[in-house]
Amino acid sequence: MCRSFFNSLIAAIFVSFWLALTDAAIENLIRKHALANAYRHEGKADLGAVVSKIIAEQPDIRSKIREVMPAAKVVVQEVNRMSPAEQQLQIEDLFPDILEVQEKRVEERRLPALSNAVEGKVVTRFPPEPNGYPHIGHAKAAVIDETYARMYNGRLILRFDDTNPAKEQLDYYKAIKDGLDWLGVKPDLVKNSSDDMARFYGYAEQMISSGHAYACTCQPDVVKQNRSEGKECACRSLSPDEHLQRWRRMLDAQGYKMNEAFLRVKGDMQSLNTALRDPTLFRIIEAAHPLKDKKYRVWPTYDFAGPIEDSIDGVTHALRTKEYELRDALYFLILKTLGLRLPELIEFSRLELRGTTVSKRKLQPLIRDGLVEGWDDPRLPTLTALRRRGFLPEAVREFVLSLGVSKAESEPDWALLESVNRKMLDPLVRRYFFVPDPVRLEVAGAPEVKAILKLHPEKNFGERVIETRGAFYIPREDAEKLKQGDSLRLLGLYNVEIEHSLPASEEGLLLKGRYAGEDLREGLPKIQWVSADSYREFTVWVTLPLIVDNEFNKESLKIVKGFAEAACGDLKPDDKVQFIRFGFCRIDSPGLAILTHR
Ligand SMILES: [Zn+2]
């Protein structure tokens, strides 16, 4: 007993000696990694692991490891004596970053494991077609692709599937990149399918020569008819040489015109899977391509380019939405025919939010006809619109990950995304008074009061001071409920008893009241206000469902006019605030806010 006490004492003296010699920065580094390691391993840090993390972060420590080692031992022991709760407190206090990293890991773990995934070798890809603005459905795919790549320390490829020049535009490439930047999705490689045209042509010739593809010159409606009846056309039985010649005439600008010839795979015209009934691999499109201009006139379909790109880019796990499921057999047929490596295919359900649509076919006319403002109209589910409406990219990520990779169809409500966003915004934003549809309230006998109001009830965001002299504006909705003799409390100020409510005078509703003390009374309606001496006119856009009963909802944008307290005059575009008793808003321009959600 005595001996062990003596040993500890010696150890303690020895240790303080070493700690004194080791500089504070190094000790801090040791502590950080000891806590992080303990946090990840049920409260017990491992000395070896901690030391290798320290060296990884500061390689020059390796040369003085003999000096550092005793200090590391002491700190690790000290951390290991703490309870996990104490460790967590110290982490929150000193190294909050550790918790953020940890939370990210939890997020990653939420997705089920990939089959046949090897740590460090997983490659996923996000392959948008640059034919429109990215929307919440793209966010789901991109975030899942990235999360899997990071989960296995693998790589993410962003591939623009741009082989239909009739539909693609340069600004859509940019919109997709901007959307991903905003979401914080960072691809390890960015590429365009259109850069691989020479390879696609090579593979096409390979398939024609081996008799696995043929150039069909039947009319498109005949092809369609044959497909539905399971009939083969006469082109199919011609020799590969004949098809090679036809293929060259497709490539030749003097040869076939658009819709006069198609390269089709020799599938199975009687297959129960109609996707295998000799689908088109290449078609002639004479439109200028946004990157390649008129360099090519024969373009591969997604059915052909997709699997080849996945295979040659080393993609190990190709995730796509469920509507492609019937095309899986075709995907593998093409790769097997060409002798290319087969990636794993994984399908998940497409994401639509209730009350809106991600369909370009439905959105484009709304924009063309001016029924919505543009791709960033806050009623739309595009990423640029979500951003403009005030959603945080972290909330969008959290939301789409919470839906997982299940194949079950779901049409989640906006409310789900809103609740994730609300939780994140609440501790971050300042609170102000905004009075929608204002009604004047004059208070007799009111003292001159400087109201000192905190910008957040819990956070230390400071306060604003509003001078009041007895004339206010309050929301019409509240004012209309007040009758003579009723009392109310002006939030953060004092009580008022209503003496007269004068409906429909020329200036609108005017309320008159009397000062009724400052004591807090239960049951009084608590109402936000602005001083009649200092306020800013503010307009708030309130979005409602864009689509109702499959039709554009003409009432989908409500414009609310009102007065905000004077301090709101300093708000800048993109600031996010909470208007008390009204909702969370993003400032769009001076004097204009967009309601993100209640
Ligand atoms: Zn034919």
Query: What confidence score (pLDDT) does residue 105 get?
Result: 52
Establish if 498 belongs to a structural domain. Answer: yes
DSSP state for residue 111 in the 8-state scheme: S
Question: Per-10-residue mean pLDDT for the chain, 598 residues long?
Answer: 56 54 79 89 86 87 86 91 79 79 56 94 98 95 97 97 97 98 98 98 98 98 96 97 98 97 97 97 97 98 98 98 93 98 94 84 92 95 97 96 80 88 96 96 96 95 96 94 94 95 65 95 95 97 93 96 97 98 98 97
Establish if 141 belongs to a structural domain. Answer: no
CA 548 to chain centre: 25
510 and 545 belong to one structural domain: no
Q: 258: CA distance to ligand 1 center in Å?
A: 15
Q: What element of type H or E holds 176?
A: helix 170-183
Establish if 591 belongs to a structural domain. Answer: yes
Establish if 79 belongs to a structural domain. Answer: yes
36 and 86 belong to one structural domain: yes
Rg from Cα positions in the chain: 33
Pairing of β 508-515 and β 495-505: antiparallel
What CATH number is associated with residue 486? 2.40.240.10
Q: Which residues are catalytic?
A: 129, 350, 360
518 and 552 belong to one structural domain: no
63 and 88 belong to one structural domain: yes
Tell me how far apart the alpha carbons of residues 158 and 280 are, in angstroms, rounded to a whole number.
Answer: 25
306 half-sphere exposure, CB direction, 13 A CA radius: 21
Tell me how far apart the alpha carbons of residues 591 and 572 are, in angstroms, rounded to a whole number.
Answer: 9
Which of these three, 494, 529, 564, is where a domain ends?
A: 529
Q: Check if the beta carbon of residue 18 is closer than 8 Å to that of residue 72.
A: no
Q: What element of type H or E holds 307?
A: helix 302-312
Q: 218: CA distance to ligand 1 center in Å?
A: 4
Q: Check if the beta carbon of residue 550 is closer than 8 Å to that of residue 562.
A: no
Q: Check if the beta carbon of residue 54 is closer than 8 Å to that of residue 33.
A: yes
CA proximity to 308, closest of 198, 216, 212: 198
How would DSSP label each residue in 335-363? HHHHTPPPPEEEEE--B--TT----HHHH
Q: Check if the beta carbon of residue 30 is closer than 8 Å to that of residue 38.
A: no
Token readout for 263 is 């390269």
Q: 234: CA distance to ligand 1 center in Å?
A: 6
Domain that holds residue 445: 438-529
pTM of the model: 0.80
Establish if 130 belongs to a structural domain. Answer: no
Which of these three, 529, 561, 584, is where a domain ends?
A: 529
Establish if 58 belongs to a structural domain. Answer: yes
Tell me how far apart the alpha carbons of residues 312 and 315 are, in angstroms, rounded to a whole number.
Answer: 8
Establish if 288 belongs to a structural domain. Answer: no
Question: Which residue, chain included where needed, has tokens 């856009």?
Answer: 541
511 and 448 belong to one structural domain: yes
One-letter amino acid of 296: Y
Establish if 178 belongs to a structural domain. Answer: no
Q: 237: CA distance to ligand 1 center in Å?
A: 9
564 and 506 belong to one structural domain: no
516 and 550 belong to one structural domain: no
Query: What confidence score (pLDDT) does residue 14 get?
Result: 55
Tell me how far apart the alpha carbons of residues 498 and 441 are, in angstroms, rounded to a whole number.
Answer: 9
444 and 524 belong to one structural domain: yes
Q: 97: CA distance to ligand 1 center in Å?
A: 63
Pairing of β 583-589 and β 592-597: antiparallel
522 and 583 belong to one structural domain: no
Tell me how far apart the alpha carbons of residues 30 and 210 are, in angstroms, rounded to a whole number.
Answer: 64
Which of these three, 101, 116, 142, is where a domain ends?
A: 101
86 and 19 belong to one structural domain: yes
Total domains in the fold of the chain: 3
472 and 543 belong to one structural domain: no
Q: 170: CA distance to ligand 1 center in Å?
A: 35
Q: 255: CA distance to ligand 1 center in Å?
A: 17
Q: 205: CA distance to ligand 1 center in Å?
A: 18
Q: Greatest CA separation found in the chain?
A: 102
514 and 456 belong to one structural domain: yes
